[in-house]
């Protein structure tokens, strides 16, 4: 997973690559803030690598959704976003090589 920070800091819980079991639920949370206390983070973008090794932005669908919240902590405003996957499914792409990855769509 990757995020668009635009010079924002990332605080705990740090986002991690996850390795869920097939047919289970999964979630990842990322929290961003401006260390200078000037700007308020507005969006965190989650992506995955496709079978061509390109980054593809995750978008909501029947199996994937996001929650987010902003919170004032002293002079800093944090923005937290969590991506939820209702059912992990493995997808196989057959070309010159077979790739197995978690299908998020």
Domain-wise residue ranges, the chain: 9-103
pLDDT, residue 64, reads: 92
**What does the pLDDT profile of the chain (105 residues) look like in tens digits?**
444 445 677 777 677 777 888 889 999 888 888 877 777 788 888 888 877 888 889 899 999 999 999 888 777 788 899 999 998 887 655 444 443 444 333
CATH topology for the 9-103 domain:
Immunoglobulin-like (2.60.40)
Q: In sequence order, what are the residues at sequence separation of 6 or more whose Cβ sits closer than 8 angstroms to the Cβ of residue 103?
A: 88, 89, 90, 91
Evaluate if pTM is beyond 0.75. no
Q: Name the percent of the chain in helix, strand, coil, to the closest 5.
A: 0, 50, 50
């Amino acid at each position: 997973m990757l995020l668009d920070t635009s010079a924002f800091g990332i605080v705990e819980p740090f986002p991690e690559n996850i390795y869920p079991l097939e047919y289970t639920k999964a979630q990842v949370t990322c929290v961003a803030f401006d260390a200078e206390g000037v700007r308020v983070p507005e969006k965190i973008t989650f992506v995955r690598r496709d079978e061509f090794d390109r980054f593809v932005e995750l978008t909501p669908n029947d199996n994937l959704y996001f929650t987010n919240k902003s919170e004032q902590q002293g002079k800093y405003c944090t923005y937290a976003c969590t991506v939820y996957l209702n059912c992990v499914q493995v997808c196989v792409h057959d070309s010159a090589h077979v790739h197995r990855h978690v299908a998020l769509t």
